[in-house]
Structure 1
Amino acid sequence: MLTTEPFFSAPLEPKLQAIRNRLRPGQQVIADWQAGPLAVSAVPGAGKSTGMAGAAALVIARHQLNRRRQLVVVTFTRSAVASIRAKIRSHLRELGLPQGSFLVNTLHGLALNIAGSQPELSGVRADLKAVLQPSQKARFLRQAVDQWIAENPQPFQLLIEGRAFDGEETERQRRQFILRSEILPALAQEVVQEARSSGLSPNQVREISRQVSEEVEFSVLGVAAGLYERYERILRAANAIDYDDMILGALRVLEDPVARQIWQERVFAVFEDEAQDSSPLQTRLLEILSQSETDGSNLVRVGDPNQAINSTFTPADPRFFNDFCDQCGSSERLAILDQAGRSSRIIIDAANFVLNWVNQSSLVGRERAFRPQQIQSVDAGDPQADANPAPEGRGLELLAPRDIYHSAQLLGARALELLKANPDRTAAVLVRQHNQSRFLCEQLQFLQKDHGIVVYDTEQRERRSRVPAQMLALLQFINRPHSPDNLKNALSVLLERQLIPSQDLNALAVDPERFLYPGPLDPALSATQAQIRRKCAGLLRARLELPLFNLIPFVALALGYDASELATADKLTERIVQQVYSQGAHPSLNAVLGVLNDIVLSENFEAVEVEDPEVRYIRPGQLTVITMHKAKGLDWDYVFIPFLHERLIPGQPYVPASAQFLGDFTLPEVARAQIRAYVHGDEVPSVGEAWRRAGELKAAEEFRLLYVAMTRAKRLLWMSAEKSTPFSWNNLEMMQDTAKACPILKPLAQRFPSSLVPC
């Protein structure tokens, strides 16, 4: 049971009490922690890091911690590491206590320290350069796919036949190509990520597959186990490790009794932030590290399961943290941080309404989308400045514009009105997809051009960082245009840059010669395909007409790069020229591709910042355009959330037309659902049931993402669902005139009728 008895030593008691008194009631529960496990479930804006920092200082003072006996604080990102470290140091300076009494790190950083301390036990070198980069991992996964196909011709044939296969050779080639280039690499990526983070070996995945009553001719997890096994083999042969190897290596060290005792004597307790994003292996590592001889595990886990928005593309699963909270709650070791001073009352009420409505609806099936905890306003006299501020205008504004252009017009006018009247305040537009960000930045340029309000596109830096990979894809195509992979990669870049219409790229890439050089007996290309072919032909002509080192500037212009991207391409050209000549190689396109491939694999090329490199997402008088995922952890006075439609939130798992020959499901989602069911101790579902659960998982996460987006707002939350919206944001010409709004908007409008804004 938690205790609140006095524990301060006399000399420091007044200062310690002052730190504690500055905390909210929920935060004080963390500050009063003395030993044993503690779960802290927080709401958005509750001040998790503030509470953790204050509690950390009190723990350090109370137990006289030092370099030999430290408090370990683990968080999710490097930026969060810096923030929490600074807050703890500030408290320790105030108390006059040593700064070496605590350690703040990311979980992978902590695992690498443990694994690298005894490489003979972990099998992991303490060398960050040895960690597999994402592009290298993708290459290893492709190699695993190629090996599996070569060694398993019969199962591969079953995949090719799928359903409705008439034996036609062109269709066979198309299915082979998409299996090798897309479907199987995606399955390998998913099973490697899910299985390794859960501590499952390839053989264990194979055993799980035997528990499944299959509805198709092939076993999804059986194929996945084979891919996983070959990936492990390739990884060992390359003497490389990936991020999961850090955790596994650290656990191998802690399995040794002597090493475990050394580490446990060094660590007094572990405070974990963002615990909703932990995997089973990560949790196991922290439990062992925080083990105490008398009190069990001195582990304080702080998180918000309602802000778990990574579980559909990472091994994170909020169910693990929810289970931990329930276990701690049964022994009165659960604290709720439910007071938040960020938002005005109507925004809090709207967020709470969404939480309750979704949990009571049938849209997420058996999944529990939200932990049932309500955001509460802070008490009078709260130390947070301007806590629960007065709303701006209606506080919550709900609109139904004619189309996306009308929506951008209304949004821009409202942002202009607000920021002109209050230039010291902040504003942001939160979007679900990256291409929506680009559209809005183009539509809102009048704010900057005519009124001096900066429209800051947070995707610009990410687009600049993709310049080397895009160049590699285009130059590989120019060098070997008859490769189906090279053609598809080049078309993918052109599609990403919205330079060609949305198409089934596999159908074009499966036979490059027929597409690029059609003969008189070949089927005629459609008008759209002919347009794409001309774009490709223009790139190929450049190989013949331009000097070698002019190819990158040419491709940069062909891709429509902006000033920053062009500057990055120029820098890339200079580096390639230097490295080609420094290696003594004959200047050739193959030499350029070799250098460029090394740059992409090493992932250490810094993009050029034309604007101030210290620019922030939150700047007074600026309108920031940012994705909902990237907005987590941030807040603004005014938040705009346009394009809220059912197709995106909650959406449905999507089966690409090119992959429907396997069935009405996708292999990665089925494998994920089956592995997670096993890890949670549930019955492993069949393919159809696993696909249904994947849909529920996606719906639950999409509603949590919307909840996160809504709770970024302080004074005004503006939300819209347009009556006409694109079928695909890659092609704005094809509009859907009867787009269905996100299902939460109608009940939200009924609950807050005064928030409806006529337009």
Structure 2
Amino acid sequence: MSADDLLDALDPDQREVALALAGPVCVLAGAGTGKTRAITHRIAYGVRTGVYRPSAVLAVTFTARAAGEMRTRLRELGVGGVQARTFHAAALRQLGFFWPKVIGGAPPRILEHKATAIAEAASRLGLDVDRLAVRDLASEVEWSKVSLVTADDYVRATAAIDRPAPSGYDHQAVARLITAYEDVKTERGVIDFEDVLLMLGDMLHSRRDVAEEVRAQYRHFVVDEYQDVSPLQQFLLDQWLGGRQELCVVGDPSQTIYSFTGATPHHLLTFRSQHPTAQVIRLVRDYRSTPQVVSLANRLLARRDARGRGAAPLELVAQRPDGPPIGFTVYDDDDVEATGVAQRVARLVAAGTRPSEIAVLYRTNAQSEPFEQALAAAGIGYLVRGGERFFARREVRDAMVLLRGAGRSADAETPMVETVRDVLLSAGWSPEPPAARGAVRERWESMQALVGLADDLAARFQASYADFLTELDERASAQHAPTVEGVTLASLHAAKGLEWDAVFLAGLSEGLMPISLAETDAAVAEERRLLYVGITRAREHLELSFARSRTPGGRATRRRSRFLDGLWPEPAAASSRGRGRVARGGPLTGEFDAGLYDRLASWRSGVAVDAGLPAFTVLVDRTLEAIAELRPATLPELAAIKGMGPAKLAQYGATILAIVAGTAGTAGVPERSAAPSGSWVD
């Protein structure tokens, strides 16, 4: 692409980003507004016009997947040599290069997990810990390090921000633990991931020769997801820059959801005051989601704080055509909710949506189990995001050994995709998925993802087998997994940066959203942003749900999240009318059986979904209210109700009478054996 072609591919706001080649630049980019497109075109335009030397650009982001996506897009734009890495990957590479020169010898081994060192440190201090306590203490140690809070300053710093200590411990004990943990690491000769950033930052700060070498190499910096930068990452970024202004940051304060790990939007919100000459550009055109999804997201943030505290959120402007209405469903209990969601997923798959384009999102990882069981029972493949890493799976490691071995004898005349398939056939892959579920299907899906990667590379780049192996090694190094065909189950935090055609937001009840641990105004505000992130993951289909009780037959004590007050459509029947049974016949009084209305509304929603029609085209609310009040027992009685014409009577009459009589079951509610107790579609 020529320089002009690059600009022509952008909207006016994105084009402004691409033209802003000299820093400092701050891009406030809402969800789905094409920020990655804008910054990769900016880099490519800088290279095309000769302003940037590719190897002088360092783009940093927060996940290996995002860094891999950036590298792929730059390659598609014909730009190679740009370093796109996570903070840790970039720092680790530089530390490994300079360590022999500055310290001597090889760098220390990195401690993959803090748990064993934390447990040993606690034992030395006589602290009683279990597995959960070790996890919480490890998180607190990590927070202190990324926040640049030393053991000596820990008590004062946590008191200043009213940060509670991990449950069961006081701040003094945690401060001692931080010191003991550092001692354990020193004795073992290991460092942790935070040390990588700390040591490199200190090296650049104290060694002028090292700093000059790095700054001579990297002259232009791009930082994605800048709202999630920690004080430690900002410290390292400052050392990389060395007072220079060639910096472009991209972020959205409304997507700050990691403050518990030390991330803070402070640097993004104060960027203009720190860089008075900065150019600020806003991206608000949403190309990801339908107007229905965008409207809900905007309304959620608009209600964030009646007192107007905090930065005003970006108001997204939908660019896509209208999509299906957003679903709002109440279920009796968690198991029924999981089964109901699985049934809705099955309908989408049957209608042509790929499982990998569907996600079920929830607040805590502990909520995944019923959805796993329900999807497995429905014969739908799934993957739990945050589980075992793709490249750590045994079948993937074994396949990669075979693929690398085949590279030494691969026939250059044989298409790359055929070679990959032949190799994986010998590893147990088959062109058709196995009928069995569980581990057998998961193993096949892992290898199928490798096949899919080969197909994708061949289609986009006409890649050779050597290119495929290079891509595979790069992805393994960066933990950038290919797409696995299955429904994604993930926590809302793990869903950040991802998107799907269809998203189910489950468990949206008080105590889970916001989480009961969110006791301060700031914590509740972050929970609202977390829900916003979940909503904006959906491109087309979005369904929100919660269950009234945790277990079957349990007390229905749950209520929906406070964040959805004013957003969740209220059925007039259930919210404002009586709930007693009314005798058949006679004039309508407006008082009817709300439970029966709910069951009728649930059935109507199922029919509408199956037919791909708005719910009101099946039967309008007023007709359902009349049925719930008059409780007809025969077809003539039903036919006397306004809205029940001959066609609807013939099509739905028997089912409606069965629902009224309480004998409907699964036959009365087509494909909805897990019928929710109340379901309304906006």
Give the TM-score normalised by structure 1: 0.59
Give 1:372's aligned residue.
313
Residue in structure 2 matched with residue 263 of structure 1 by the alignment: 214
Q: Which amino acid aligns with 2:264?
A: D
How do 1:505-544 and structure 2 match up within 5 A?
Answer: none
1:104 aligns with 2:88: no
- What is the CA-CA distance between 1:564 and the residue it aligns to? 5.5
Q: Deviations over 1:313-351 (max 9, x none)?
A: x222233333336655x6452221111111111110100
2:358 pairs with one of 394, 405, 427:
427
From 363, 366, 369, the equivalent of 1:438 is 369
Distance in 2 separating the partners of 1:206 and 1:744: 34
C-alpha change, 1:432 and 1:125, in structure 2 (3 Å) is: farther
Q: 1:715 to 1:230 in 2, by over 3 A?
A: same
* 1:747 aligned residue (557, 566, 572): 566
Structure 2: gaps of 5 or more residues: 395-435, 453-480, 573-613, 616-677
- Structure 1 SS opposite 2:294: helix
Q: Report the Cα offset of residue 70 of structure 1.
A: 0.8
SS at 2:85 equivalent: strand
**Is the CA contact 2:66–2:497 (under 8 Å) kept in the aligned structure 1?**
no
Cα 1:254–1:371 change in 2 (3 A) is farther
Match of 2:283 in 1: 337
C-alpha displacement of 1:269? 0.8
Matched, 1:650 2:514: yes
Question: In the alignment, does 2:218 pair up with 1:232?
Answer: no
- Matched AA of 1:746: D
The alpha-carbon deviation at position 55 of structure 1 amounts to 0.6
**How much has 1:188 moved relative to structure 2?**
4.2
Contact 2:445 2:484 in 1 (8 A): no
- SS state of the match for residue 215, structure 2? helix
Equivalent position to 1:613, from 426, 447, 456: 447
Q: Following the alignment from structure 2 to structure 1, what is the Cα–Cα distance between the partners of residues 104 and 523? A: 35
Residue 55 to residue 444, structure 1, CA distance change in 2 (3 Å): same
Whether the 8 Å CA contact 1:638–1:716 is kept in 2: the answer is: yes
2:237 counterpart residue number: 286
The one-letter code of the counterpart of 1:193 is E
What is the percent sequence identity of the aligned residues? 24
Distance in 2 (CA, whole Å) between partners of 1:194 and 1:698 is 16
Helix, strand or coil at the partner of 2:7: helix
Question: Of 537, 545, 554, which residue of structure 2 is paired with 1:735?
Answer: 554
Match of 1:349 in 2: 295
2:122 to 145, 154, 178: 145
Equivalent in the alignment of 2:332: 402
Measure, in 1, the Cα distance between the counterparts of 2:485 and 2:500.
11
Q: Distance in 1 between matches of 2:505 and 2:67?
A: 29
In structure 1, the residue matched to 2:258 is: 310
> CA separation in 2, counterparts of 1:211 and 1:390?
48
Structure 2 residue corresponding to 1:391, chosen from 323, 331, 342: 323
Give the aligned partner of residue 27 of structure 1. Answer: 14
Matched, 1:457 2:374: no
Q: Name the CA distance, whole Å, in 2 between partners of 1:213 and 1:455.
A: 44
Structure 1 partner of 2:95: 115
Task: Check if 1:301 corresponds to 2:240.
Answer: no
Residues in 2 aligned to 1:463 and 1:220: alpha-carbon distance in whole angstroms: 35
RMSD of aligned alpha carbons: 3.9
Tell me how far 1:118 sits from its aligned partner. Answer: 2.3
State the alpha-carbon separation in 2 of the partners of residues 299 and 16 from structure 1.
21
Find the counterpart in structure 2 of residue 506 from structure 1. Answer: none
Q: Secondary structure at the match of 2:154?
A: helix
Distance 1:197 1:758 in 2: 45
Q: Is the 8 A contact 2:43 2:52 kept in 1?
A: no
Give the match's secondary structure for 1:401: strand
Aligned residues: 503
Cα pair 1:563 1:610 within 8 Å, conserved: no
1:651 is paired with a residue whose SS is coil
What is the Cα deviation at residue 73 of structure 1?
Answer: 0.9
2:150 is the counterpart of 1:201: yes
- Residue type matched to 1:82 in 2? G
What is the aligned partner in structure 2 of residue 720 from structure 1?
Answer: 545
**115 and 612 in structure 1: CA distance in 2 versus 1, 3 angstrom threshold:** closer
Task: Tell me if structure 1 keeps the 8 A contact 2:253–2:269.
Answer: yes
**Against the structure 1 CA distance between its residues 751 and 634, is the aligned structure 2 distance closer, same or farther, given a 3 Å change threshold?**
farther
CA contact (8 A) 1:722 1:739 kept: yes
How far apart in 2 are the matches of 1:463 and 1:87? 24
* CA apart distance, 1:115: 2.1
Corresponding residue of 2:58: 72
What SS is found at the alignment partner of 2:259?
Answer: coil
Q: Deviations over 1:286-323 (max 9, x none)?
A: 2331346xxx32111112232232322x2222333333
Match of 2:492 in 1: 628
Pairing of 1:183-194 with structure 2 (within 5 A): 185=134, 188-194=137-143
- Is the CA contact (8 Å cut-off) linking 2:149 and 2:157 kept in structure 1? no
From 313, 337, 345, the equivalent of 1:415 is: 345
Counterpart residue identity of residue 357, structure 1: R
One-letter amino acid of the structure 2 residue matched with residue 721 of structure 1: F
Instruction: Decide whether the 8 Å contact of 1:23 with 1:51 is kept in 2.
Output: yes
2: distance between equivalents of 1:629 and 1:190?
A: 15
Q: Sort the Cα spacing of 1:372 and 1:325 in 2 relative to 1 into closer, same or farther, 3 A.
A: farther
Deviation for aligned residue 1:610: 4.6
Tell me, in whole angstroms, the C-alpha distance in 2 between the residues paired with 1:17 and 1:81.
Answer: 26
The correspondence for 2:271, drawn from 319, 324, 331, is: 324
State the partner residue of 1:89.
75
CA deviation vs aligned residue, 1:139-176 (integer Å, no higher than 9, x gap) = 11122222223xxxxxxxxxxxxxxxxxxxxxxxxxx7
The answer to which structure, 1 or 2, has the higher relative contact order (CA under 8 A, 6+ apart) is 1
Matched-pair contact (CA < 8 Å) for 2:376–2:437: no
Cα distance in 2 for residues equivalent to 1:414 and 1:207 = 51
State the partner residue of 2:30.
Answer: 43
Q: Secondary structure at the match of 2:547?
A: coil
Paired with 2:378 and 2:132, the residues of 1 have a C-alpha distance of 43
Instruction: In structure 1, list runs of 5 or more residues that go unmatched.
Output: 1-13, 94-98, 150-175, 379-387, 449-453, 469-561, 569-607, 655-691, 727-731
SS of equivalent to 1:359: coil
The CA deviation string for residues 398-436 of structure 1, in whole angstroms up to 9 with x for no partner, is 122333344345434443444433456843322223343
Q: What code does the residue aligned with 1:221 have?
A: H
1:624 Cα deviation from its structure 2 partner: 3.9
- Aligned with residue 706 of structure 1, among 521, 531, 546: 531
Secondary structure at 2:490 match in 1: strand
5 Å matches for 1:149-228? 149=126, 179-181=128-130, 185=134, 188-205=137-154, 208=157, 220-228=170-178
Contact 1:618–1:624 (CA under 8 A) maintained in structure 2: no
Q: Does the CA-based 8 Å contact 2:100-2:106 persist in structure 1?
A: no
| 1:234–1:46 Cα change, 3 Å | same
Q: Distance in 2 between matches of 1:124 and 1:400?
A: 63
Query: What are the equivalent positions in structure 2 for 1:570-719 lying under 5 Å apart?
Result: 609-615=443-449, 623-653=487-517, 695-719=520-544
Q: Is contact 2:59–2:84 with CA below 8 Å preserved after alignment? A: yes
Query: In the alignment, residue 704 of structure 1 is paired with which amino acid?
Result: R
One-letter identity of the residue aligned with 1:441: E
Per-residue CA distance 1:202-244 (angstroms, 9 max, x = gap): 233356579799999x994332222111211221222211111
Shift of 1:267: 1.1
